[in-house]
Each structure stands twice: as structure tokens, then as C-alpha cells.
């Protein structure tokens, strides 16, 4: 269940204003399963709105954490009947859809959907439409996707319903396609041959600030029917954005060479080659960077005052997106099992190619031994008891760690049979412990990244199941090369470890 009772910070100042009859206003979100829509819905709920969503796949919408708290109407934005049902008795309509497909057909699809929604909203007497468009210069040719966004904004502005078109550039948050391109390019390439647009000026904005403006847009006067630019406090060149990311990610700053020969088409192929971002998405992203992309005026401040603490600087937005800090400056790691309310966090609905790169080696084995016997073996791992696999390879890894200034295997363990959170186990540290169930170790050996080893015991049909995961967050290209270098040894080490741990439990 989504917590809808406690808006925080600036969200509390943007609570829904009751209707004349005292009932809560209704918000319709078109695009609720997208990057921003999925983050906006729970904030609308916390602000006191009754929320309805229009979703092509109702099952997918209901699978979100907030799915049980909203009304779901099946259909897409070009389905006149579905849209008519969705806009009934709606006060504010959020239009957060835009095609990222290729070819001329997407412009007509965007146009048809916008006209369908505009007409239905006008007939239903919707009080306000809020649309998120793309930040762009007024005096330069636009890419097809930016041109289509501008056209959609005009259609909504001409609908007869008061409309606020918020135009944003690069959105900084885990899962945002723009941010993911910065992330992956910076992490993979220590040296980047790049198009000339790396020198263009860009005004990125944190996802939390975009959501703040979206919430605030519901409160602007009915007389406001216009386009307004939004951006963060920093104006940077794209190359500076990459190096700002590198600093926050603990990487060396990247050497970037601007080459005049890389056309948008070639650049999108290049991005697709060195990052997991699909070319169909990379190309519109690259095309949108062909010109300076900065806020032209401060008109937004007269409509929606800035957040009480000010807009989020770029470097802090990156740190939040990386999970290095939260609102209370607490470090986080992959072990956080649930998505928090922080909008910079990844959501389960984000694309597979978004988020930090994670390498995982997962093994499962079964034993007829009891879970208690298996746990005794797991809890006793390391030190004099060893690691149950390839002792020579473990010893070599320990020697290598000592050679580069690491702790090696010499620390052993404090107790032969029991461990506690914080204990050292050779070159690991006990990070989490659920007696009888889970032992999670954080690596303290010298590696180009962050590493964990998780050992889990589960009762299984009269015996026990053993699950083992090695998780590695690579740092830059060196981290990726390190994982590839040790990958051939995983079959010996981790497979043998799982098999021998379960065998030891059976023999004990």
C-alpha cells in the first residue's frame, strides 16, 4: 500500500485544494507508467488528490506500488472512448506521454493523441491541463522529436482548457534516459571522442524539481495558458556534465575531444555501441542536444515559486541519483530492498538499461541436511574454516590484495562458529545478519568498484536450499575489465563453493 498520509517538505505546501463541495479534487495522469508519471502519482496521492490513470495496460498500472490506490481506465491517448471516460469529473489533467519511436509516423501519432485528449478535456470541463515538453531554443531548427513536442504543446494550449506547458531539458535521476546516457558514457569511456554538441550549454534539472513543478502547476491561476521553461540552477556544457558525474561517481575526469564528423545518426550508433541505451532512444536524445538548451527567462517563478530550499544543484542531483546521499545524507547501497519515496531512486518499472551497472553471479544448491545444519556451515565460513572452494585461488587473491595495500586474508575471524554484524571475515565485513537465514558480506579487498557476497538458507521439502550471490558494482572501465578478467574463475570458485557448503552440511 502507498503511504498517502504524509506529504513532506514542499509537497505539503502544494496540497490539493478541496472543491466547493468539500470533496477532494481529481487528477488524471496520462502516462502514469512512464518515468515521470510513475513518480508523480504517489505524490499526487500524498497531496490529497483522488487519482485516475489512463493506461494502455491496466495490469501494468495496477502492479505499481500505488496501483491499488488509484482508479485505472484502460486505453491509450488516441482512443476517444477511453479518453472520454478518463476525463469525466477531472479537475487537473497531466499529459506525460510522447513517442520515442523512429520514422514519420510518430509525429502523426503524437498529433492524433494530443487532439483527442484536448477535445475530450474541453468537453468535460477540465480545469487545468499540465504538459511536460522539451526545452529548446526559439531561433534554431528543431529535431523531429522536439518539433513534435512543441506541436503537442500548441494543440493543448489551443484546447480552450487552461494549459501550462513546462519545458524541461536533461532530467537528472536514475532511470531518466538523458541521465542514463551521461552515466553510461562517463563510466565506460575514460576518453571520449564526441560530437561538437558536447560544447553546447545545457541547463539540467533534478527529477525532484520537475515533480515539484508538476505538482505546483495544478495551483497556477486559471488565466495562465502558456509555455514556460524550467531548469536547475546550473548551466553547463555537456562535457562538464559528464565530468561532474565522474567526480560524484568517484571516477577520474574524462578527456573529451569534440569531433566535427559525428552526425546525430553516427553519434546515436556510437551511443548504442558503448552503452545499453537502444538506438531508437539514443537518436532523439542526441538530436535534442544539437543546440544550446537553457531557460530563456525566469517567468516560472511568478507562477510557481521555487522550492523552499532552492532548486537542486547538478552535482547534488547526481549524488542523489547515484544513491550516495539522500535527503538525510545517509549513504545507501544495493541492499535497500524497497524503493523509497526519494524520486531519484530507480523504480521497478524503469527500463532494463537504466540504473547503475551491476554484475551478479548467482548459484543455488539443495541438500538433504536440515536448514540448521546448513546455517552452521554458512555462519562458520572464512578464517580457519576456509571458503569451501579452490583454496589456492583464494590464497592467491589474498596475496594480490596485500600487494596493492589491501587487508588480504590475514585477519581471519573473531570466533570459529559465530559472527555478528561488523565482524571481519578475512577481506570481507559482515554487513547484514539474519540468524538461520542470511549472511551478507561486504568486500574490503582492493577492487575497482563495490562488491558483496550474500549467502541465504531456506527450508525446502525436508531439506534446505542454499542461495549464493556475488554482486559487483564496477567503477568505470577498470571495474568492467576486472569483472571480465575474473569471470572465468567464477565457475571454479563460486560453483564449487555452493556445492561444497551443501556437502559439508550433509556430512556434519
Neighbours of 84 (CB within 10 A): 17
Residue 353 belongs to some domain of the structure: no
Answer yes or no: do 313 and 416 share one domain: no
Q: At CA 259, angle to CA 258 and CA 262, rounded to 5?
A: 120
Answer yes or no: do 31 and 171 share one domain: yes
The size of the chain, in residues, is: 508
Answer yes or no: do 298 and 398 share one domain: no
What CATH number is associated with residue 443? 3.30.530.20
Residue 340 belongs to some domain of the structure: no
Number of domains the chain contains: 2
Answer yes or no: do 288 and 416 share one domain: no
Q: Domain residues for 433?
A: 359-507
What CATH number is associated with residue 250? 3.40.50.720
- The continuous run of DSSP H or E covering 65 comes out as none
Residue 346 belongs to some domain of the structure: no
Contact 130, 158 (CB under 8 A): no
pLDDT value of position 346? 58
pLDDT in tens, the chain (508 residues): 344 444 445 666 789 999 999 999 999 999 999 889 999 999 999 999 999 999 999 999 998 889 999 999 999 999 999 999 999 999 999 999 987 655 568 889 999 999 999 999 999 999 999 999 999 888 778 888 888 999 999 999 999 999 999 999 999 998 888 888 888 888 887 776 666 777 888 999 999 999 999 999 999 999 999 999 999 999 999 889 989 999 998 888 888 776 665 566 666 666 766 666 776 777 777 777 777 889 998 899 999 999 988 999 999 999 998 877 655 333 333 333 333 345 655 565 566 656 667 888 999 999 999 999 999 999 999 888 888 987 887 788 878 877 877 777 777 787 878 889 999 888 889 998 999 999 999 998 888 888 899 999 999 988 999 999 998 888 877 888 888 888 888 888 899 999 999 999 998 7
pLDDT value of position 206? 94
pLDDT value of position 8? 47
Go through 259-290 and write b for each residue having 16 or more CB atoms within 10 A of its CB, e for each that does not: eeebebeebbbbbbeebebeeebbbbbbbbbb
Answer yes or no: do 315 and 368 share one domain: no
Residue 331 belongs to some domain of the structure: no
Answer yes or no: do 306 and 432 share one domain: no
DSSP H helical ranges for 125-195: 144-157, 177-188
pLDDT value of position 466? 97
Query: What's the CA gap between 312 and 332, in Å, rounded?
Result: 19
pTM across the whole model = 0.74
Amino acid at each position: 500500500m502507498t503511504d498517502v498520509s504524509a506529504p513532506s517538505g514542499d509537497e505539503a505546501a502544494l496540497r490539493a485544494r478541496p472543491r466547493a463541495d468539500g470533496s477532494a479534487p481529481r487528477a488524471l495522469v496520462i502516462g502514469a507508467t512512464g518515468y515521470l508519471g510513475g513518480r508523480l502519482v504517489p505524490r499526487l496521492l500524498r497531496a490529497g488528490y483522488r487519482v485516475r490513470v489512463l493506461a494502455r495496460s491496466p495490469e501494468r498500472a495496477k502492479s505499481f506500488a500505488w496501483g491499488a490506490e488509484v482508479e485505472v481506465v484502460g486505453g491509450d491517448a488516441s482512443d476517444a472512448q477511453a479518453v472520454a471516460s478518463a476525463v469525466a469529473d477531472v479537475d487537473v489533467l497531466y499529459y506525460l506521454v510522447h513517442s520515442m519511436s523512429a520514422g514519420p509516423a510518430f509525429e502523426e501519432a503524437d498529433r492524433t493523441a494530443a487532439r483527442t485528449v484536448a477535445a475530450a478535456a474541453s468537453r468535460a470541463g477540465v480545469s487545468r491541463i499540465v504538459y511536460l515538453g522539451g526545452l529548446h531554443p526559439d531561433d534554431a531548427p528543431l529535431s523531429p522529436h522536439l518539433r513534435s513536442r512543441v506541436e503537442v504543446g500548441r494543440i493543448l494550449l489551443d484546447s480552450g482548457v487552461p494549459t501550462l506547458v513546462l519545458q524541461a531539458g536533461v532530467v537528472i535521476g536514475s532511470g531518466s534516459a538523458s541521465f542514463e546516457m551521461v552515466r553510461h558514457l562517463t563510466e565506460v569511456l575514460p576518453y571520449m571522442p564526441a560530437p561538437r554538441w558536447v560544447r553546447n550549454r545545457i541547463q539540467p534539472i533534478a527529477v525532484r524539481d520537475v515533480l515539484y513543478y508538476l505538482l505546483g502547476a495544478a495551483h497556477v491561476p486559471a488565466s495562465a495558458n502558456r509555455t514556460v521553461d524550467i531548469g536547475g540552477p546550473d548551466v553547463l556544457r555537456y562535457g562538464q556534465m559528464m565530468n561532474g558525474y565522474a567526480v560524484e561517481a568517484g571516477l577520474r575526469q574524462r578527456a573529451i575531444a569534440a569531433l566535427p564528423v559525428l552526425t546525430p545518426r553516427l553519434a546515436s550508433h556510437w551511443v548504442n555501441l558503448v552503452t545499453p541505451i537502444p538506438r531508437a532512444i539514443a537518436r532523439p536524445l542526441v538530436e535534442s542536444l544539437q543546440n544550446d538548451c537553457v531557460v530563456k527567462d525566469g517567468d516560472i517563478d511568478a507562477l510557481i515559486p521555487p522550492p523552499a530550499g532552492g532548486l537542486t544543484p547538478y552535482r547534488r542531483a547526481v549524488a542523489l541519483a547515484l544513491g550516495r546521499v539522500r535527503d538525510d545524507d545517509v549513504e545507501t547501497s544495493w541492499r535497500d530492498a524497497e524503493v523509497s519515496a526519494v524520486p531519484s531512486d530507480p523504480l521497478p518499472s524503469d527500463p532494463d538499461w537504466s540504473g547503475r551497472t551491476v554484475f551478479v553471479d548467482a548459484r543455488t544448491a539443495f541438500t538433504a541436511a536440515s536448514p540448521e545444519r546448513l546455517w552452521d556451515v554458512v555462519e562458520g565460513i572464512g578464517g580457519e574454516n576456509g571458503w569451501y572452494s579452490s583454496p589456492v585461488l583464494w590464497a592467491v587473491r589474498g596475496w594480490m590484495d596485500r600487494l596493492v595495500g589491501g587487508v588480504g586474508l590475514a585477519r581471519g575471524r573473531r570466533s570459529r562458529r559465530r559472527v555478528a554484524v561488523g565482524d571481519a571475515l578475512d577481506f570481507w565485513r559482515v554487513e547484514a545478519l539474519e540468524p538461520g537465514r542470511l549472511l551478507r558480506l561486504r568486500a574490503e579487498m582492493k577492487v575497482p568498484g563495490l562488491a558483496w557476497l550474500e549467502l541465504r538458507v531456506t527450508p525446502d521439502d525436508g531439506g534446505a536450499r542454499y542461495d549464493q550471490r556475488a554482486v559487483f558494482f564496477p567503477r568505470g572501465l577498470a571495474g568492467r575489465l576486472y569483472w571480465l578478467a575474473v569471470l572465468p574463475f567464477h565457475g571454479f570458485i563460486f560453483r564449487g563453493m555452493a556445492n561444497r557448503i551443501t556437502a559439508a552440511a550433509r556430512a556434519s
